[in-house]
């Protein structure tokens, strides 16, 4: 089984994320044993950033690295594990590799779906040898860049 970076590259669904991970010098870190949970923004999520924001991040590797690390948590959290944890509380705050916490919550009365801050998880549990990828519909930005 491939690691997180190899899964992202092979899928062909995350070209901007892969380019950003390479530009920020995070390929080795996300290829290490982990385990990690990655919240991977869709291509549409990157396109919905304000004009010039992505180019600005790509030209500032420190800020780019902070934004990308804000999308990664230590440990492997499959969606079922998270939903089970949310039965005990309405939300979970989880520390990211960037240092700040993200808020994971469950939304919906009949069909439950998960949110990370203000981003919806649109696809879950893409398995890798060193963790799991969940696809989100927005790029989440840490408070401190």
Which of 22-26, 61-65, 87-91, 125-129 shows the lowest mean pLDDT across its residues? Answer: 87-91
Residue 126 has pLDDT above 70, yes or no: yes
Instruction: Calculate what percentage of the chain has a pLDDT beyond 90.
Output: 82
This prediction has a pTM of 0.94
Q: What local confidence, expressed as pLDDT, does residue 110 receive?
A: 63
Mean pLDDT of 34-46: 96
Residue 111 has pLDDT above 70, yes or no: no
- Give CA separation, 83 vs 30, 39, 100, in Å: 25, 16, 22
Instruction: Calculate what percentage of the chain has a pLDDT beyond 70.
Output: 97
Which of 8-12, 49-53, 79-83 shows the lowest mean pLDDT across its residues? Answer: 79-83
Spell out the alpha helix ranges (H) of the chain: 4-11, 15-23, 27-31, 43-47, 53-59, 61-69, 79-86
Number of Cβ atoms within 10 Å of the Cβ of 113? 14
Fold that domain 4-136 belongs to in CATH = FAS1 domain (2.30.180)
- Would you mind telling me the total number of residues written for the chain in this entry? 145
Q: Residue 130 and residue 76: Cα distance in Å, rounded? A: 8
């Amino acid at each position: 089984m491939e690691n997180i970076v190899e899964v992202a590259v092979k899928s062909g669904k995350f070209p901007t994320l892969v380019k950003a991970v390479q530009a920020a010098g995070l390929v080795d870190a996300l290829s290490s044993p982990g385990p990690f949970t990655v919240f991977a923004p869709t291509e549409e999520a990157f396109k919905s950033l304000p004009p010039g924001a992505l180019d600005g991040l790509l030209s500032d590797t420190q800020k780019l690295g902070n934004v990308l690390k804000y999308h990664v948590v230590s440990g492997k959290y499959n969606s079922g594990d998270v939903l089970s944890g949310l039965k005990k509380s309405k939300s979970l705050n989880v520390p990211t590799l960037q240092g700040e916490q993200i808020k994971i919550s469950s939304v919906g009365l009949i069909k439950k779906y998960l949110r990370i801050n203000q981003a919806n998880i649109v696809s879950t549990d893409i398995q890798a040898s060193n963790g799991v990828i969940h696809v989100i519909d927005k790029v989440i930005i840490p408070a401190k860049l």
